Amino acid sequence: MATFPLNGSSVSASNTALSLNLKPSSHQKPSVLVPTTIIPSRRRRSLLPALALTNDLGNKFRRARVSHITSATMAAGLSVGEILPPPLTSASDLPAIFDGTSRLYLSYTCPYAQRVWITRNCKGLHEEIKLVPLDLKDRPSWYKEKVYPPNKVPALEHNNEVIGESLDLMKYIDAQFHGPQLLPQDPARREFAEELFSNAGSFHKSVSSTLKGEGDEAVTEAAFDDIEAALSKFDDGPFFLGQFSLADIAYAPFMERYQPVLLDMRNYDVTAKRPKLATWIQEMSKIEGYNQTRRDPKEHVENYNKRFAVILFCPTHQKLDNHVQGETASPLKGFEMSRDFSPVQQLYS
């Protein structure tokens, strides 16, 4: 007997009249009505695949705009001038260390490491500071044991010492190595640069909260408004301090990720009604030292979706994620701790 779905159940074809409360007409011979047999529908194991499919179909327009960002990025010309060494894994031998060579230990996908990488490139230190990339999902044990006990990236080996923290490393490289000075001598501009460095954490907190589905999205909007206002302080150039500086490098890796990711995940265009920010993004794409570190915006979208899609659709997953990270409810801590890069903490950015 054929069955047809009705309100999540299956109803036999011969009993459809009963289910629809139909009575035989007066000129027909009354029929014997048989109780309807309801066959429960099979329970779906998970809503995530269906939700993901619906979300994907509904976001075609946003994906098209992300593709536009990608096209603009490629048009700007991602540099491939430097041949990048492959990331070292747990199976890799310990390279030469403390032999007088300066080395930058990094992950190609870490925004904090990207800050220092950009600084190195913009100073023209490709030969003076060697890149030592690490696979943070399969990190070599010797890195913690013999190179940098905090076991984080970025870290710089220089003068037989290893130091860390991205903002400190940017300033250190600018002061200790030759090349263009990336902080101006003007006291007012240097003071404003320090203010921008200090505010970087709250900016990241606001945006990461939105990506996790936490907090008020108005806070994120205000954070980008603050960026627009900061770009309006000096009128002798399109950058934070007028001319290109470490202040721009501090924000570039995160803006590179947030612009396409927010457009895709939240349908939010960070440049809308923010002409200064739109110009800043365009001008940053002309900085060769930055272009050498950039990744395809589609890759950022894909990686952030992997990171946050389950959290958005499954609250219990977020509790587990916070538990593993050793955090409770702080989006900032969860985001900032990505520098520690355990497999769960990594943003795949």
In a domain, 63, yes or no: yes
Both tokens of 176, joined, read 């200790």
Going 163 to 164 to 167 to 169, the CA torsion angle's sign is positive
Q: Do 218 and 333 have their domain in common?
A: yes
Q: Which of 40 and 262 is assigned the larger pLDDT?
A: 262
The C-alpha atoms of residue 210 and residue 267 are separated, in whole angstroms, by 12
Nearest to 299 by CA among 69, 51, 55: 69
The C-alpha atoms of residue 151 and residue 229 are separated, in whole angstroms, by 37
| Residue partners of 81: CB distance under 8 A and separation at least 6 | 292
Compute CA distances 6 → 19, 34, 51, 218, whole Å. Answer: 9, 18, 22, 43
What is the arrangement of strands in the sheet containing 3-6, beginning at the earlier edge strand? 3-6, 9-12, 38-40
| Residue partners of 91: CB distance under 8 A and separation at least 6 | 138
Q: Do 197 and 291 have their domain in common?
A: yes
Q: Do 168 and 240 have their domain in common?
A: no
Both tokens of 73, joined, read 């990025």
Q: Do 252 and 328 have their domain in common?
A: yes
Predicted pLDDT of residue 85: 96
Predicted pLDDT of residue 56: 55
Q: Which of 127, 145, 176 is the last residue of a domain?
A: 176
**Domain count for the chain:** 3
Q: Which of 82 and 33 is assigned the larger pLDDT?
A: 82
In a domain, 15, yes or no: yes
Q: Rounded to an integer, what is the distance from CA 174 to the centroid of its chain?
A: 27
Task: Name the one residue in this structure whose structure tokens are 């000096």.
Answer: 234
Q: Which of 176, 198, 227 is the last residue of a domain?
A: 176
The domain of 8 spans 1-21+34-43
pTM equals 0.70
In a domain, 94, yes or no: no
CATH of the domain at 118: 3.40.30.10
- Note the pLDDT tens digit of each residue in 248-307: 999 999 999 999 999 998 889 999 999 999 999 999 999 999 999 999 989 888 888 887
Q: Do 131 and 217 have their domain in common?
A: no
The C-alpha atoms of residue 178 and residue 101 are separated, in whole angstroms, by 16
3-state percent breakdown (helix, strand, coil) of the chain, nearest 5: 50, 10, 40
In a domain, 229, yes or no: yes
Q: Which amino acid is at 6?
A: L
